């Protein structure tokens, strides 16, 4: 059985989608931890579904290293085989990534290697891109730079707003990440 830890920082829509899929395969996978680095709606949603949750609030730690050590301890205590980043809005240090090397996966709202980092929808529109999408990749110490596992693309419509594009890309993420 695959044991999964999911890290979130917000509403947790990708985490909830993953939870839906995992619930349909109880003999194959189990979510053993949903952890957040800030108090967020996603933790409440995970708890409401009966998933084990943990707040490892970055404000409770003197520095990044001690915060990541506590997060890693939580992941290891849960016995997770894989760590899935689902809207986790913190850059993980090389030490943390190395500790879980090859076992951390992220979903990013762009067609990597294009548009690494934040504000991808606004940047795609500002640059006049005609294609945008989402990428699932293995996490490495370099930001949004690990091996690509899956991508899905969409065509940006002419009068599309950032919010409309974000909503369409999120639907792609929800379809793509469970694979």
Residues annotated catalytic, as ranges: 108
Could you tell me the two tokens for 142? 């370099």
CA–CA dist 128, 119 (Å, integer): 14
> Is omega for the bond preceding 62 within 30 degrees of 0, making it cis?
no
Neighbouring-strand partners of residue 3: 30
Closest CA to 177 of 122, 111, 108: 108
CA–CA dist 7, 1 (Å, integer): 20
The dihedrals phi and psi of 134, each to the nearest 5 degrees, come to: -140, 150
């Amino acid at each position: 059985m695959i044991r999964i830890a999911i890290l979130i920082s917000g509403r947790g829509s990708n985490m909830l989608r993953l939870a839906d899929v995992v619930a349909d395969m109880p003999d194959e996978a189990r979510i053993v931890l949903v952890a957040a680095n800030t108090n967020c709606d996603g933790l409440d949603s995970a708890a409401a579904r009966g998933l084990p949750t943990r707040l490892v609030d970055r404000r409770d730690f003197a520095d990044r290293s001690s915060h990541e050590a506590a997060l890693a301890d939580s992941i290891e205590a849960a016995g997770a085989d894989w760590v899935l980043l689902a809207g986790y809005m913190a850059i993980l240090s090389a030490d943390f990534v190395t500790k879980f090397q090859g076992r951390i996966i992220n979903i990013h709202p762009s067609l990597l290697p294009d548009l690494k980092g934040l504000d991808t929808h606004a940047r795609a529109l500002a640059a006049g891109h005609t294609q945008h999408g989402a990428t699932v990749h293995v996490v490495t110490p370099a930001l949004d730079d690990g091996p690509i596992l899956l991508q899905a693309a969409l065509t940006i419509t002419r009068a599309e707003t950032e919010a409309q594009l974000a909503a369409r890309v999120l639907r792609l993420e929800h379809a793509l990440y469970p694979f």
